[in-house]
Amino acid sequence: MELLQGIAAGNLREQVVERVRAEIVSGRTPPGSVYSVPGLATELGVSTTPVREALLELTRGGLLVAMRNRGFRVERLSLQALDDLFTMRELLERFALETLARQGLKDRDALVGHADDVARAVESSDVPSYIASDRSFHEAMVEQVGNPLLTRMVMQLRDDMRLYGIDSADGVQRQKESVGEHYQMIELAEQRDVQAIGGLISRHILAWKPLFKAALDTQN
């Protein structure tokens, strides 16, 4: 990990959350690995407080398990659990985007900005930035529906995923394909094309499933 310096305390915690989440969901930190608060703080060049807060947040989200006086262990995900996550994520996120298309966009420019961030991350082959910016794009899309509970449920499902294989050759190709799909979602929402945006978000989500399952199968 790169050092985190010159960042406000609250943003430090968020930066640590993003870094550790990206390591876990990409499979770079495999199941069973243990994060030590002092060790991670030293690695990042920050105090232990934002690191502890970040790891506790990821524990609440289910990515980590706190072990008394031993740190935080990366939780294992079963193939069945991954299947269930894909099922529920497609169901809820498709509902959200179809609802958004019926309502119409509130802020197109903000979504384009998030889509641009994803495109830049892919162009620079920065997987952690891709994971963070892709998450921000989808959160911004769903937030425009105006249903905070729906947003929380969708984002929790996303955060519970494991993106194993995302930096493989197939994963990189899928990242590139997703860039254009993000811009298409914005256009379809603006055009209020409910049917087309529903089909697109389903394909957008499910195209990752065989890649993740194959990679996860090698972990279990």
pLDDT reported for residue 86: 94
pLDDT reported for residue 5: 47
Q: What is the DSSP letter of 8?
A: -
**What residue spans define the domains of the chain?**
9-74, 79-219
pLDDT digits (tens, 9 = 90+) for 47-102: 899 999 999 989 987 889 999 888 999 988 888 888 999 999 999 999 999 999 99
Indicate if 79-219 has the same CATH topology as 9-74.
no
Contact 91, 110 (CB under 8 A): no
- Which positions ≥6 away from 6 have C-beta within 8 Å? none
pLDDT digits (tens, 9 = 90+) for 90-111: 999 999 999 999 999 989 999 9
Q: Both ends of the chain: CA-CA distance in Å?
A: 26
Specify whether domain 9-74 bears CATH 1.10.10.10: yes
Residue listed under structure tokens 């961030």: 117
SS3 72: strand
Residue listed under structure tokens 């030590």: 36
The fold of the 79-219 domain, in CATH, is: Four Helix Bundle (Hemerythrin (Met), subunit A) (1.20.120)
CA distances from 217 to 131, 165, 199 (A): 21, 11, 28
